[in-house]
Amino acid sequence: MAEAAKTNWDAIVIGSGIGGMAAAAALSKAGQKVLLLEQYQTLGGLSHSFSIEGFSWDAGIHYLNCVAPEDRERRILDWLSDKPIEFASMGTIYDNLHIGDAAPLSLSRPYAAQARDLKDRFPDESEAIDAWIAALKEGREAVMKVTSTRAMPEFVGTALKWWHSHAVERWCKRTTQEVIDEITDNPELAAAFAAQWFDHGGRPSKASFAIHALITGSYLESGAWYPKGGGGAFADHILPTITKAGGEARADTKVETLLIEDDRVVGVRTAKGEVIGANTVISDIGARETVNTLLPADCGHQDWIDEIRALPHSVAHFSLFVGFEGDIQRAGATRSNHWIYPGGKVDVVWTDAPGAPPPGLFVSFASLKDPGHDPGPSQKYAGEIVAWVDWSVVERWADKEPGARGKDYKAFKARVEDVMFAQFEAYFPELAKLVVFRNLSTPLTTHSITGHHKGAFYGIDTTPERLMSEALQTRTPIPGLFLAGQDVLTPGIPGALWGGVLAAATVDPGLFRQLPG
Ligand SMILES: Cc1cc2nc3c(=O)[nH]c(=O)nc-3n(C[C@H](O)[C@H](O)[C@H](O)COP(=O)(O)OP(=O)(O)OC[C@H]3O[C@@H](n4cnc5c(N)ncnc54)[C@H](O)[C@@H]3O)c2cc1C
């Protein structure tokens, strides 16, 4: 470790997702010199954008909640950025549900407007709809109480959860489906309540209702937004805060292991063999990924490691990135997203790809949401078609490197792409005619680009056990090691942002006073 000691960073942050960038920028605001290390060639984690043949897509953003001017997360983002990121509202309608044979159901914000949408479709279910809206509000309150304990000493957190135990039992420890079943026995209404579960990746039968309420309800609170310039805006605006404070953000630098001396984390060794020392190390790569890939074998704390490993992982996905040329609005594209469940059931994951068509599909036209998008003379627009799947569909190629997965993998990908595109075409026939570019990413792509276990880009599944777990605190039992990002609080950009900010404030509690209120 003698070499490491020479490098002298105050903090190393592993992983440049929004959680890692937020942690690094917050510590930079507190005067620390921070080194941010990212294994992939582009910084930004799942918030990064990429371009091919004049089209640009986001790896992991379709819409954002909690970034209205009055939201605290927006003020925190402004504080972390060198220049504030601009966000454009998606308007009143932000999602459309296509469930079974029913006509599309457009969902608007705020709460009263969405209650109206649902009551117009289900006029006999007024009471159930009011109960659902009330449950969303109470569930949000409950989850915020629990997640706020993530950066607190354990005894304080335990006391707070005990104090709010009624709400915790009622909303956090029951699944989305259990709450829905209590409210209605109308299967079509139940499906509409649960349809947006892929916004956090926890199936209705498994997810904590409170997390579903937090994430889907946030759009009703302050709307759906999209960053001008796409997800890459996060890295463009936040990284200068780190570098201007004397820090550095390095892409293409995989951390191979944490270095531990006298039971304390004292630095990292990269895959290229560089040994780098720091007073503090924050990991944004995911809790399971941290214990599975970064900890030396004999580091102890087995109870903590076992608790994290016992928590289930979330779903994986296929993204079909498409490029259009032409007037896509005229052909049926909208700023709002589309959730497509041809079979009418929403608690579904594609387990038999590509033999059968996907039971659920999400369609988004990012270019229409981005006020910075210039379609140019050939009217270029980007869109994404996403299907959520079980990792098992690609597992047989998992031990092979990209490029070495053989002809059968290529054929599998081609079939998945065709089946997904056919489903899209069935719902958007005019738009399908304008597609000039297609590129499929698979759970193996997610795994090789982000390192997420079994392609589970949302990290640990949003079950009640995850929400109540004491193992996901920002402060780990290993001195010098902290966790940031989506596993600490909740999946999604705002949750991962909070995970980063709270990790930084655990390292330097003075930040709690600096955080914009
Ligand atoms: C298809 C899709 C759609 C989504 N849609 C939305 C949406 O509409 N709205 C929303 O709010 N959220 C959405 N999300 C979720 C959101 O993108 C994530 O919750 C969030 O970006 C996670 O941020 P993070 O900082 O926790 O982790 P990540 O962004 O996953 O960052 C972790 C980083 O760690 C790096 N890393 C891993 N191992 C190492 C190592 N050993 N050394 C160095 N670096 C390493 C990875 O390469 C990665 O860059 C979506 C995600 C996907 C995939």
**Measured from the CB, is residue 250 less than 6 Å from ligand 1?**
no
Residue 484's pLDDT is what? 98
Please state whether the predicted TM-score (pTM) of the whole model is above 0.85: yes
Cα 237 from Cα 49, distance rounded (Å): 14
**Measured from the CB, is residue 457 less than 6 Å from ligand 1?**
yes
Which residues, 6+ apart, have CB-to-CB distance to 292 below 8 Å?
309, 453
For tokens 């004999």, what's the residue? 298
**Measured from the CB, is residue 254 less than 6 Å from ligand 1?**
yes
Q: Ligand 1 centre from 19 Cα, in Å?
A: 8
Q: Ligand 1 centre from 487 Cα, in Å?
A: 10
Cα 327 from Cα 460, distance rounded (Å): 40
Cα 187 from Cα 180, distance rounded (Å): 10
CA 332 to chain centre: 27
Whether the CB-CB separation of 455 and 391 falls below 8 Å is answered with: yes
Q: What percent of the chain has pLDDT over 90?
A: 93
Atom 18 of ligand 1: nearest residue by CA position: 492
Residue 6's pLDDT is what? 53
**Measured from the CB, is residue 232 less than 6 Å from ligand 1?**
no
- Structure tokens that stand for 321 in this block: 């990135």
**Measured from the CB, is residue 18 less than 6 Å from ligand 1?**
yes
Buried b (16+ CB within 10 A) or exposed e, 299-325: beeeebbebbeebebbbbbbbbbbbbb
**Measured from the CB, is residue 15 less than 6 Å from ligand 1?**
yes
Which stretches of the chain score pLDDT less than 70? 1-7
Helices (H) and strands (E) in the chain, counts: 20, 18
Q: Which tens digit of pLDDT belongs to each residue from 8-41?
A: 899 999 999 999 999 999 999 999 999 999 999 9
**Measured from the CB, is residue 492 less than 6 Å from ligand 1?**
yes
User: Tell me, what amino acid is at 302?
Assistant: Q
Q: What percent of the chain has pLDDT over 70?
A: 99
Please spell the DSSP secondary structure of 429-486, one letter per residue.
HHHHTTEEEEEEE-HHHHHHHH--GGG-TT-B---HHHHH-GGG-SB-SSTTEEE-ST
* Bridge-based pairing state of the strands 49-52 and 55-58: antiparallel
Whether the CB-CB separation of 65 and 215 falls below 8 Å is answered with: yes
Q: Ligand 1 centre from 485 Cα, in Å?
A: 8
Residue 148's pLDDT is what? 86
Domains of the chain: 2-86+228-311+469-514 (3.50.50.60), 128-221 (no CATH), 316-453 (no CATH)
Ligand 1, residues 48, 285, 290, 497: which to mutate, most atoms within 8 A of Cβ? 285
Q: Which tens digit of pLDDT belongs to each residue from 348-373?
A: 999 999 999 999 999 999 999 999 99
- Structure tokens that stand for 143 in this block: 């989850």
Residue 360's pLDDT is what? 98
**Measured from the CB, is residue 493 less than 6 Å from ligand 1?**
yes
**Measured from the CB, is residue 201 less than 6 Å from ligand 1?**
no
Longest dimension (CA), the chain: 73
Nearest atom in ligand 1 to 386's CA: 1
Q: What separation, in Å, do the N-terminal and C-terminal C-alpha atoms of the chain show?
A: 41
Q: Ligand 1 centre from 63 Cα, in Å?
A: 14
Ligand 1, residues 35, 50, 61: which to mutate, most atoms within 8 A of Cβ? 61
Instruction: Report the candidate in 198, 1, 79 with the shortest Cα–Cα distance to residue 500.
Output: 79
